[in-house]
Amino acid sequence: MSVKRKAPTLNDVARQAGVSTATVSRCLNFPDQVTAKTRETVMSAVRKLAYSPNFGARVMAVNRTNTIGAIIPTMENAIFARGLQAFQEELRRHGYTLLVASSSYRADIEEEQIRSMVSRGADGLLLIGHERDPAIYRFLETQDVPALVAWSHDCTKSLPSIGFDNRKSMRALAEKVIEMGHRRMAVISAAMKTNDRASLRVHGIRDAMNSAGLDPAELPIIETTYSIDAGAQAFDQLLAAPVPPTAVICGNDVLAVGAIKQARALGLDVPGDVSVTGFDDIELATIVEPALTTVHVPHRDMGTRSASMLIGLVEKKCIGEAIELEADVRLRGSLAPPRA
């Protein structure tokens, strides 16, 4: 149903039911406070006119639903949880409700969810990363629904964004690894083709190798899904190589925790036998032992500022821009120089 159609009003329902608007309102919102007979009369008028409570009047007035949609790749592992929580808190401060959908990192599901959110009358959308079919952007444009990209900064892309430079910050981390003396590194990453954050992070590692005179072509990379078990399996595979790596750089903290878990299972000491690094700095990063050297993503700041900008776009009070936040390296126990 479009939100722009002329909707029946509370008045229409009251007239139809032969009661006051206050009674209609009470019946809809606090059905316990009216008699069963009144409830029946009012609800039959509501059904006849197909009146939708609360919603119609507001939409008529401002042509908005005060609902923002966010489509994130996963609800598991808390990767997006903290940022989304801050996003929701800021939306709420401005009277907006957040509805979230999770695409399981699948482009086809994400597209369905974008269309569903728009059908459901979302005023604006938060999306993660820039990588998607250009037709979706045209769709959002024709539907006049503003969208904002978070978790990825790229000022060359058409959608406004609030994020950090995945490539630059992973490069900074890889430089620390190389500075410590590591030469045999390996990478556990999410699928790079459909995930721009993942591919940018791997590019960052290659940048660091290039500038240190190492050959990025020799870097072993395993692509897998973001889960602790997948990280553990990939680590196992990397360490089985004839000349195993002395440092395993992981695309995120969840994979790194899996790597550390598997190191423990193999009887290897982290960082004595092998160093492991993550990306995100979610709570898991400081719970695991040793604590993870990782890239700290400004989750809450990103969430809050994304909400402000998206509201500005919805209310046509600002023009979207590409804002870059800092994501800095946090050195913790999981990284140390390799054994001599």
- Which residues contact a copy of itself (rule: CB under 8 A)? 1-8, 27-32, 39, 43, 47, 50-56, 59, 65, 67, 69, 74-78, 81-82, 84-85, 88-89, 92, 97-102, 104, 109, 112-113, 115-117, 119-121, 134-135, 138-139, 141-142, 228, 257, 261, 283-284, 287-289
Chain-centroid distance of CA 148 in Å reads 11
* Least spacing, CB of residue 200 vs a copy of itself, in Å: 25
Query: Which is nearer to a copy of itself, 83 or 204 (by Cβ)?
Result: 83
Residue 301 C-beta: closest distance to a copy of itself, Å: 16
Task: Tell me how far apart the alpha carbons of residues 122 and 146 are, in angstroms, rounded to a whole number.
Answer: 10
Residue 117 CA neighbour count, 13 Å, CB half: 33
**Cβ 264 to a copy of itself, closest distance in Å?**
9
Q: Which of 314, 300, 318, 331 is nearest to 150 (CA)?
A: 300
Beta bridge partners of 163: 324
Least Å distance between CB 54 and a copy of itself? 6
Q: What tokens were used for 310?
A: 């998206």
Pick the closer one to a copy of itself by CB: 65 or 233: 65
Residue 110, token pair as written in the block: 């994400």
Nearer to a copy of itself, 38 or 180 (CB): 38
Q: How near is the Cβ of 239 to a copy of itself at its closest, in Å?
A: 20
Tokens of 315: 């209310």
**Taking a C-beta distance cutoff of 8 angstroms, is the pair 258, 284 a contact?**
no
Nearer to a copy of itself, 86 or 186 (CB): 86
Looking at beta carbons only, is 138 or 193 nearer to a copy of itself?
A: 138
The secondary element (H helix, E strand) that includes residue 109 is helix 107-119
Per the DSSP assignment, residues forming a β-bridge with 162 are: 150, 323
